[in-house]
């Protein structure tokens, strides 16, 4: 049966989420608005919950044109009842669909638990197995009773409302939640329960949209069960893998500043035949990465090494792709001045990538600006000096090249230990794409490059 869903997404992730639901779910009627992607599909709920670029998953009640509320409270309540709540039959049918999906998800989880017990607990005695079976059966009966209650005409609920734009100037989210809640109670007969409701109704009101839905999971999709220690947000880590110009199966992938391993773990979840190598100078970070690998069952597929990204202990051209979240900010800081170190990091990463391989970097706005200033058009018969380099500017948000375009070059100065001030041209990396994403309190850019030739390095 085709169901109508929507997912919330971080700023900059909507396009990637729309492509993911089309690719993985064969979704139809895919529509994206800022912060949300709507789609229809008949995939089982477990498959839908495996989306990697989404924040939260909802069953869609309805999506309508924006509403304008009068200042009079009584009139405003009447408008909300008509526009937000609408047809009671739609709500009742959506409730039945939600209940069926919860049962479907519960069955999938029980099958997963059963398989894990068979794999991990073969030595259980008959008495232990009986106890497990009884416990599982009791849990199922309890859950089924909860589902039966939710199918009744009076499920308990609470409203979570978010608003922006014109409507937010006259109404707070809390006030709108109360008005909408009273309208649902009056129109549908549902019971308000602010502490432990069976349902949570989410409403989003803006100048462009009026959206209502019911969450299908208690926890966000972005909260990965296999991440014991959090680092880079999982959706952004997945985006770095997704934006790599090439599929990464049968490849060697390196993260030379891996931290707790977020980027490598997301890539390993997607590509089962790749080899992954993570490096970091911080022993405590590597320990957390090791624990994350164990929690995800990826110990045998991701190798960790204590080493500096400034001197990667690999031969030239042995890596198919380098994925790196270059540290910045207070939470993920670096002992080095990253602005100074970035050019040397780029040169070392480029060295170990084979021709035809790829470089994917997550950079802060400041580091992206620095990178922008070092990108210029390079012609093989042209020699650029420092003043030429300083005058070359390219907007990172529009760095899109095709295979026939003139190659872009990364230009940077030699290290302080080198006496020559002549800039070193790194002409082997061709810019492919720059994608802006939100990290919550700040924004960042994902830059992608392809190595088109072997770079001659000076020593």
Q: Which pLDDT tens digit goes with each residue over 321-376?
A: 999 999 875 444 444 577 788 888 888 999 999 999 999 999 998 888 877 766 54
Task: Give the integer Cα–Cα distance in Å for 256 and 149.
Answer: 53
In this prediction, residue 419 carries a pLDDT of: 33
DSSP conformation class of 84: I
| pLDDT at 443 > cutoff 50 | yes
Any residues with CB less than 8 A from the CB of 166 and at least 6 apart, and which? 68, 207
More confident site: 185 or 417: 185
Lowest mean pLDDT, pick from 80-84, 405-409, 444-448: 405-409
* CATH 3.90.1300.10 for domain 234-451: no
Residues 371/409, Cβ–Cβ less than 8 Å: no
Task: Give the integer Cα–Cα distance in Å for 282 and 284.
Answer: 6
Residues 372/338, Cβ–Cβ less than 8 Å: no
Lowest mean pLDDT, pick from 251-255, 307-311, 365-369, 400-404: 400-404
How many CB atoms within 10 Å of residue 218? 7
Per-residue pLDDT tens digits for 259-288? 999 999 999 988 989 999 999 999 999 999
At residue 146 the predicted structure's pLDDT band, cuts being 50, 70 and 90, is low
**141, burial (CB in 10 Å: exposed 0-12, middle 13-18, buried 19+):** exposed
How many CB atoms within 10 Å of residue 457? 13
Topology (CATH) of 55-215: THUMP fold (3.30.2300)
In this prediction, residue 405 carries a pLDDT of: 37
The structure's pTM equals 0.79
Per-residue pLDDT tens digits for 62-97? 898 888 888 887 888 888 888 888 888 999 999 999
Beta-bridge partners for 304: 278
In this prediction, residue 421 carries a pLDDT of: 41
Domain boundaries defined on the chain: 55-215, 234-451
In this prediction, residue 410 carries a pLDDT of: 43
| pLDDT at 102 > cutoff 80 | yes
More confident site: 415 or 280: 280
| pLDDT at 162 > cutoff 90 | yes
| pLDDT at 128 > cutoff 60 | no
In this prediction, residue 455 carries a pLDDT of: 63
Give me the phi and psi of 189, to 5 degrees please. Answer: 80, 15
In this prediction, residue 79 carries a pLDDT of: 86
Output the average pLDDT for the chain.
Answer: 80
Residues 61/5, Cβ–Cβ less than 8 Å: no
Task: Give the integer Cα–Cα distance in Å for 269 and 234.
Answer: 11
| pLDDT at 42 > cutoff 50 | yes
How many CB atoms within 10 Å of residue 301? 17
Residues 101/45, Cβ–Cβ less than 8 Å: yes
In this prediction, residue 170 carries a pLDDT of: 85
Residues 339/313, Cβ–Cβ less than 8 Å: no
Give DSSP secondary structure letters for 302-370.
EEEEE--TTS--S-TT-EEEEEEE--BTTTB--SS-HHHHHHHHHHHHHHHEEEEEEEEEEEEHHHHHH
Residues 200/59, Cβ–Cβ less than 8 Å: no
Any residues with CB less than 8 A from the CB of 359 and at least 6 apart, and which? 321, 322, 324, 349, 350, 353, 429, 447, 448, 449, 450, 451
């Amino acid at each position: 049966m085709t169901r109508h869903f929507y997912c919330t997404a971080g700023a900059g992730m909507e396009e990637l989420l729309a492509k993911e639901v089309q690719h993985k779910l064969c979704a139809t009627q895919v529509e994206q608005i800022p912060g949300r992607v709507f789609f229809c599909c008949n995939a089982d709920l477990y498959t839908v919950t495996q989306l990697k670029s989404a924040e939260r998953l909802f069953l869609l009640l309805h999506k309508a044109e924006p509403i304008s509320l009068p200042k009079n409270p009584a009139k405003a309540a009447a408008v909300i009842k008509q526009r937000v709540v609408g047809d009671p039959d739609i709500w009742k049918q959506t409730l039945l669909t939600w209940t069926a999906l919860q049962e479907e998800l519960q069955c999938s989880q029980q099958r997963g638990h059963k398989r894990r017990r068979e794999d991990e607990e073969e030595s259980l005695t008959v008495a232990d197995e009986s106890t497990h079976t009884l416990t599982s059966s009791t849990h199922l009966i309890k859950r089924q009773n909860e589902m039966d209650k939710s199918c009744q005409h009076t499920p308990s609920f609470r409203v979570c409302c978010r608003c922006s734009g014109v409507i937010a100037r006259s109404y707070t989210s809390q006030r709108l939640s109360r008005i909408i809640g009273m309208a649902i109670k009056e129109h549908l007969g549902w019971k308000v329960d602010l502490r432990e409701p069976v349902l949570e109704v989410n409403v989003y009101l803006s100048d462009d949209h009026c959206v209502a839905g019911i969450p299908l999971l208690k926890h966000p999709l972005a909260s990965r069960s296999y991440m014991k220690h959090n680092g880079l947000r999982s959706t952004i880590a997945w985006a770095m893998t997704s934006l790599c110009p090439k599929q990464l199966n049968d490849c060697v992938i390196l993260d030379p500043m891996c931290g707790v391993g977020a980027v490598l773990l997301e890539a390993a979840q997607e590509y089962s035949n790749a080899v992954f190598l993570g490096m970091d100078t911080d022993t405590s970070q590597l320990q957390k990465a090791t624990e994350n690998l164990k929690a995800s069952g990826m110990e045998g597929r991701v190798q960790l090494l204590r080493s500096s990204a400034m001197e990667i202990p690999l031969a030239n051209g042995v890596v198919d792709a380098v994925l790196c979240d270059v540290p910045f900010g207070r939470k993920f800081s670096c002992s080095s001045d990253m602005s100074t170190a970035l050019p040397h990091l780029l040169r070392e990463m480029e060295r170990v990538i084979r021709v035809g391989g790829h470089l994917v970097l997550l950079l802060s706005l400041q580091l992206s600006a620095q990178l922008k200033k070092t990108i210029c058009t390079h012609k093989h018969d042209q020699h650029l000096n420092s003043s030429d380099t300083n005058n070359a500017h390219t907007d990172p948000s529009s760095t899109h090249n095709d295979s026939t375009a003139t190659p872009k070059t990364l230009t940077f100065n030699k290290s302080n230990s080198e006496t020559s001030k002549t800039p070193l041209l790194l002409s082997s990396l061709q810019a492919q794409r720059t994608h802006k994403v939100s990290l919550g309190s700040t924004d960042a850019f994902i830059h992608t490059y392809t190595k088109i030739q072997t770079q001659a390095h000076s020593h």
